[in-house]
Amino acid sequence: MIKRNFLACTALALAAFATGTAQAQTTALKFQLDWRFEGPSALFLTTAAKGYFKDAKLDVTIDAGNGSGGTVTRVASGAYDMGLADLAALMEFHANNPDAPNKPIAVMMVYNDTPASVMALKKSGIKTPADLSGKKLGAPVFDAGRRAFPIFAKANAVTGVQWTAMDPPLRETMLVRGDVDAITGFTFTSLLNLEARGVKADDVVVMPYPDFGVKLYGNAIIVSPKLLKDNPAAVKAFLLAFTKGTKDVLANPAAAIADVKARDGIINVELETRRLKLAIDTVINSPNARAEGFGQVSAPRMALMASQVSDAFNTKTRINADTVWNGSFLPSKAELAILPKK
């Protein structure tokens, strides 16, 4: 009996040790999105809901954001380990803070093309970029499309634009009221917001930046250099799990919205499903993404963007693309081959 009890206690002790070891091997990561819990956030929320992060021994906390600039700053401060942010905002941070000790680094491209566009109502008479010259445009001061507008303007010979600033919730309202002639914003955000304000999609002129000579990348997964140094395996595991989750979202966007609804119960399911599908079609499974490969970038295109952002944002120092991007943590090309053929 004593021997049996001893063996039982030993087994329990070993099981407890094994459980403790397994728990010790789990890495906790704080991740911040670029914006609220909307359709495109399903890429991360579905990955978590399906247990892909957990299977990779990661305990990932996903929080909503309030703009790419804020996400970059919070990862730089150490408040978050990783995030999703516009690559141009990351480049600007690097160039304007050359001596910052903890500059985040982009490790995976999510939006291969910038989602930014110029939108106007057809009744305004604006049909092409040339019609924007001398007009009044509106957008929040931190809007990615507004920040990059000088690149769009140079590519399309647009001059004399006057800007009106507003808070994000007022952007589409001011366009509908006629307070501004056109707005800049992410296509899958502003177009659907205009519809929510009673404007038919057919009555909106949309000029996506990628269709008018602006070859900027959009949002990328960014990481703290401390995490890259201390736990590169966790970064690789995160990116592989995210790739698996994204593949599921691409296969069934409608189902993925349930995971967004679980995080924000007041979302409009139909609207956010459309937003996710629009994001997939325009910036995630775009022709450029299929040509370069999901998650990956083209070095010449990255260098061109660094030069254009340096000029458009009037940064303190020139941007070095090599210090902003590190693709060595990506899954293999075979694992990244998740984009459905058009």
Q: What is the CATH number of the domain that holds 178?
A: 3.40.190.10
Average pLDDT of span 61-78: 96
Q: 17 lies in a domain? A: no
Shared domain for 208 and 97, answered yes or no, is no
pLDDT above 70 (res 232):
yes
- When the pLDDT of each residue in the chain is averaged and rounded to a whole number, the result is 93
Two tokens at 214?
Answer: 């602006």
Could you write out the DSSP letters of every residue in 91-159? HHHHHH-TT-TT--EEEEES-SS--EEEEEEGGGT--SGGGGTT-EEE--TT-HHHHTHHHHHHHHT--
pLDDT above 70 (res 9):
no
* pLDDT given for residue 58 in this prediction: 98
For 141-181, what is each residue's pLDDT tens digit? 989 999 999 999 999 999 999 999 999 999 999 999 999 99
Range of the domain at 272: 25-113+217-336
Q: State the pLDDT confidence band at 4, using cuts at 50, 70 and 90.
A: low
Could you write out the DSSP letters of every residue in 255-290? HHHHHHHHH-TTS-HHHHHHHHHHHIIIIIS-HHHH
Q: State the pLDDT confidence band at 6, using cuts at 50, 70 and 90.
A: very low
* pLDDT given for residue 246 in this prediction: 98
Give the number of domains in the chain: 2
Average pLDDT of span 307-325: 95
Which of 271, 272, 284 shows the shortest CA–CA distance to 242? 284
Domain end, chosen from 147, 177, 212, is at 212
Average pLDDT of span 117-130: 97
pLDDT above 80 (res 65):
yes
Q: State the pLDDT confidence band at 2, using cuts at 50, 70 and 90.
A: very low
pLDDT above 60 (res 10):
no
Two tokens at 101?
Answer: 């000790």
Collect all residues with Cβ–Cβ distance below 8 Å to 130 and sequence separation of at least 6. Answer: 156, 157, 158
Q: 258 lies in a domain? A: yes
> Do the Cβ atoms of 43 and 249 come closer than 8 Å?
yes
Collect all residues with Cβ–Cβ distance below 8 Å to 135 and sequence separation of at least 6. Answer: 126, 161, 162, 181, 182
Average pLDDT of span 286-291: 96
Shared domain for 249 and 321, answered yes or no, is yes
Collect all residues with Cβ–Cβ distance below 8 Å to 20 and sequence separation of at least 6. Answer: none
Average pLDDT of span 60-68: 96
Shared domain for 102 and 228, answered yes or no, is yes
Residue 218: CB atoms within 10 A of its CB come to: 29
Shared domain for 121 and 109, answered yes or no, is no
Shared domain for 235 and 328, answered yes or no, is yes
* pLDDT given for residue 5 in this prediction: 53
Shared domain for 127 and 77, answered yes or no, is no
Domain end, chosen from 156, 188, 212, is at 212
Shared domain for 58 and 78, answered yes or no, is yes
pLDDT above 70 (res 227):
yes
For 191-208, what is each residue's pLDDT tens digit? 999 998 999 999 999 999
In a 3-state reduction of DSSP, which class is residue 86? strand
